Amino acid sequence: MNYLSTRDNNLRMTPAQAIAKGLAPDGGLMTPQVMPTLAKNALENLKNMSYQQRAVYVLARFLEGFSSSELTAYARAAYGGEKFSHPDVAPVRRLNENTYCMELWHGPTCAFKDMALQMLPHLLSASLVKIDEKKTVCILVATSGDTGKAALEGFKDVNKTQILVFYPKDGVSNIQQLQMVTQEGQNVGVCAVVGNFDDAQTGVKKLFSDEALAQQLAERGYFLSSANSINWGRVLPQIVYYISAYCDLRREEVIEPGQEINVCVPTGNFGNILAAYYAKMMGVPIKTLICASNENNVLTDFIRTGVYDRNRPFHNTLSPSMDILISSNLERLLFELSGRDDKLVASYMEQLAQEGRYEVNKSIRNKLQRNFAAGYCDDTQTKKTIEKIWKEQRYLIDPHTAVAFHVLEEYRRETKDETVTVVVSTASPFKFCSSVLDALGEKEFAPGTEILDQLSQLTGVEVPKPLACLKDKQVRFDKVTEKEHMVDEVLDYLR
Ligand SMILES: *Cc1c(COP(=O)(O)O)cnc(C)c1O
């Protein structure tokens, strides 16, 4: 099976090319030519298998040219015992009769980005061999916090790869900074940039379009690439956990074979919830996908009205990983909902680039509303939800997950839909200690890593090991650069 661009059905690539290139040359996103479906008994057969085995089954459906022994090795390396602290990898926890929570933060960086970024480096490194690329790839990342650390952990010591992460000096939390500057591995680099996230991001974009730099690096045997969430190699591993969640609910006999469930997903760039939609296309009985946003509610409006309009104020919220006004992966959904009308998708994306706005046609809007529901949650409601779930259920959640719980509650009140629902939990509450402590009524916060113990003592919940270890780790990276000099950092790093 090949992959094609969402903006041109004639632009084809093999799976290895699609993963190695990341983006189509026309700016479109590489997408499977046909969506594979699950065999009739697949969900019943998978229900007694491990997460790693489920991953191999799903990945194999999409990756012609990758052998099952290759995929098995990657699944073990990505999700095996020393990487994920929970044997189920993505455990599904019961809250009440019809509410379940899938925890996607048991990986090495305690956020859901690990689910994809533990797998992507293996797929990428293998793809480069398959397309006969001789040069070593250097992944450049500008991060506002979560992605940088997850990418560092994923690429750490992976063959034929290097990774260099730039973070804004004053734009990440203490814990996030500490997570990055103590990163281990032979092929990793971390550098602070004077300024905010925009400065770091603009700087990295400039590096990608710097032809003199590309030339110099090529002579040294390197080329630059990115690991952002539009790469198919990041979307694909995310389909696995929706299939896995359904299998777990079947294994525990919460649902009958074929019984429909809903999913509720805290959403930013639309990668996570898109994977749920692909799982539905493959045959997982998912009825409604509930898209939960924070105050940057461009997707809520889009799903309710069919109008996508990014012309609105940007809010910094308690759920920073969802502070996004352009959800790149939405393009793949439009491609499916339009019946794979590449010209139409290209015209919507052109309007988005020119005017920051487009309105989908009636047929797309109807399909959108048949499959999706949407809601949003402000910071006050986010904090109230953290407190409420803690008081009522003794279950500690982070601000992103709280957005989803709040939106689910409103959805149920409005629709009376009591379908069994899987809420997706995207980060450990310990990654956002001060917000969580504040929600629980604490007014003073302990300094540095002591804040982890403060939250743990208050709640009796154990600090996740990768965060608890931070205080004993050595700082390996203390470089700071002006954004004009980022190019020198790259050249110095790839000597
Ligand atoms: C990235 C992220 C999200 C948003 O996921 P998308 O795939 O971008 O929609 C939600 N929560 C957390 C904690 C994240 O890191």
Question: How far, in Å, is the centroid of ligand 1 from the Cα of 322?
Answer: 6
Nearest alpha carbon, ligand 1 atom 11 = 426
Nearest alpha carbon, ligand 1 atom 4 = 268
Question: How far, in Å, is the centroid of ligand 1 from the Cα of 415?
Answer: 26
CB 197, CB 169: distance < 8 Å: no
Domains of the chain: 1-109+231-471 (3.40.50.1100)
Q: Is 263 in the pocket of ligand 1 (CB under 6 A)?
A: no
Question: How far, in Å, is the centroid of ligand 1 from the Cα of 90?
Answer: 15
The rounded percent of the chain whose pLDDT value lies above 70 is 100
Q: What is the pTM of this model?
A: 0.95
Q: Is 143 in the pocket of ligand 1 (CB under 6 A)?
A: no
Q: Is 268 in the pocket of ligand 1 (CB under 6 A)?
A: yes
How buried is residue 394: exposed, middle or buried, by Cβ count under 10 Å (0-12/13-18/19+)?
exposed
Question: How far, in Å, is the centroid of ligand 1 from the Cα of 147?
Answer: 9
- pLDDT tens-digit profile of 243-298? 999 999 999 999 999 999 999 999 999 999 999 999 999 999 999 999 999 999 99
pLDDT at 207 over 80: yes
Question: How far, in Å, is the centroid of ligand 1 from the Cα of 271?
Answer: 8
- pLDDT tens-digit profile of 92-105? 999 999 999 999 99
Question: How far, in Å, is the centroid of ligand 1 from the Cα of 227?
Answer: 15
Q: How confident is the model at residue 209 (pLDDT cuts 50, 70, 90)?
A: confident
Q: How confident is the model at residue 174 (pLDDT cuts 50, 70, 90)?
A: confident
How many Å apart are CA 20 and CA 354, to the nearest integer? Answer: 29
Count Cβ atoms below 10 Å from residue 164 Cβ, excluding itself. Answer: 25
Candidates 318, 249, 321; CA nearest to 286 is: 249
Using the atom order of ligand 1, give the atom closest to the CA of residue 431.
13
Using the atom order of ligand 1, give the atom closest to the CA of residue 238.
7
Q: In what order do the strands lie in the sheet with 421-425?
A: 92-96, 99-103, 421-425, 261-266, 286-293, 372-376
For residue 468, the Cα-to-chain-centroid distance in whole angstroms is 23
